[in-house]
Amino acid sequence: MKADKIWMDGKMVDWDEAKVHVCTHALHYGSGIFEGIRAYETKNGTAVFRLKKHIDRLFNSAKIFKMEIPYSKEEFRQAVKDTIKANKLKSGYIRPLVYRGFEQLGINPFKCPVNCTIAVWEWGAYLGEEALAKGIKTKISSYARSYINSTSQKAKICGNYINSIFAKMEAIEAGADEAILLDTSGFVTEGSAENLFWVRDGVIYTTPTATVLEGITRDSIIKIAEDMSYKVQEKYICRDELYISDEVFFVGTAVEVTPIREIDNYQIGEGKRGPITENIQKKFFAIAKGEEEKYLSWLDYI
């Protein structure tokens, strides 16, 4: 993973020169916020998927974490597009990061400057092409999703991802591809970096957003599924409801729409990508690649 240029506080910097000081506050305490966005190649050139919504969420994360971003949303959106252009990126991943830099290393972040960067790079299927076609193996994590009042689930705060990293390491070491985390009461929440959907008797379910990140793919999938005349409901469930679901799938910018074929060694449905998952996945990719007139407003062309 490498590209040519990184946008750093308003300047295009060579990839190898995009460095920070070791006393950067965020490096010690995770005091940053970030976004993950994808750009897809379409017949009319590269398009960013739901850029406005991602930059809105970045600014909401900044508000919750009390950081003043020294750019307008419009300037930030333009900077994303400029970085894509500077790297001649056709399709891939976009990572805006806003972090507390160095001034002093006490916990108090307010004295530290707010620095902004945008990196982009080519990135195919997050868990591999086979995962999209055949599904993945998951494990219910022994690590609970951070308690709702420990930090904030609405904000994509760097430090929140330590919880995700513990769950991911445990899943990988147990021979699974990804983790599913429960909340501190035992209700199903989400994956390490993806929201969860499941299907029972033709109805599509997902968890309410109170205890999970308000995923932009989640929002897209709900709209897509409803437009396809599926019934979609939000529901709190325990892990056993997943075991007996007909289909389960993850959604997120990185994983896109990834079927889950196994959870804790229980086979889900037929143990392969289910038919509803496949329909939604196909529609999602067609929309992202600009093949669906009705959803063109979701795309920002470069």
CB proximity list for 176: less than 8 A, separation 6 or greater: 136, 137, 138, 139, 262
Of 225-254, binders to ligand PMP (CB under 6 A) are 252-253
**32 binds ligand PMP, rule: CB under 6 A:** no
Q: How many degrees, rounded to 5, is the angle at CA 221 between CA 215 and CA 224? A: 145
Chain position carrying tokens 């530290």:
112
Task: Provide the pairing of β-strand 32-34 with 92-100.
Answer: antiparallel
Tokens representing 75?
A: 């300037």
> Is 52 tagged catalytic?
no
Residue with smaller CB distance to ligand PMP, 13 or 148:
148
Residues 212-242 as b or e (16 or more Cβ within 10 Å = b): bbbbbbbebbbebbeeeebebeeebeeeeeb
The residue count for binding ligand PMP (CB under 6 A) is 13
Residue with smaller CB distance to ligand PMP, 112 or 120:
120
**288 binds ligand PMP, rule: CB under 6 A:** no
Dist. CA 125–CA 216, nearest whole Å = 18
Chain position carrying tokens 């205890």:
211
**158 binds ligand PMP, rule: CB under 6 A:** no
**168 binds ligand PMP, rule: CB under 6 A:** no
**Residues 33-72: x/- map of binding to ligand PMP (CB under 6 A)?**
---x------------------------------------
Contact region with ligand PMP (CB under 6 A), list: 109-117, 127-135, 213-221, 222-230: 213-221
The DSSP result for 84-127, as a single string, is HHHTT-SSEEEEEEEEE-SS--SS--TTS-EEEEEEEE----TT
Dist. CA 124–CA 106, nearest whole Å = 39
Contact region with ligand PMP (CB under 6 A), list: 114-122, 165-173, 193-201, 259-267: 193-201
Set 5, 137, 139, 156: catalytic member: 156
CB of 193 to ligand PMP, least distance (A): 4
**190 binds ligand PMP, rule: CB under 6 A:** yes
**138 binds ligand PMP, rule: CB under 6 A:** no
Contact region with ligand PMP (CB under 6 A), list: 6-14, 186-194, 240-248, 256-264: 186-194
**196 binds ligand PMP, rule: CB under 6 A:** no
**193 binds ligand PMP, rule: CB under 6 A:** yes
Sort residue 30 into left (φ over 0), alpha (ψ -120 to 50) or beta. left
Contact region with ligand PMP (CB under 6 A), list: 68-76, 120-128, 209-217, 279-287: 209-217
Dist. CA 62–CA 73, nearest whole Å = 12
**213 binds ligand PMP, rule: CB under 6 A:** yes
Q: How many degrees, rounded to 5, is the angle at CA 226 between CA 225 and CA 227? A: 90
CB of 267 to ligand PMP, least distance (A): 25
Return the residue of 89, 116, 216, 276 that touches ligand PMP, per CB under 6 A.
Answer: 216
The DSSP result for 277-298, as a single string, is HHHHHHHHHHHHTT--GGGGGG
| Closest to 73 measured CA to CA, from 84, 62, 83, 86 | 62
Residue ranges binding ligand PMP (CB under 6 A): 36, 190, 193-195, 212-213, 215-218, 252-253
Active site residues: 156
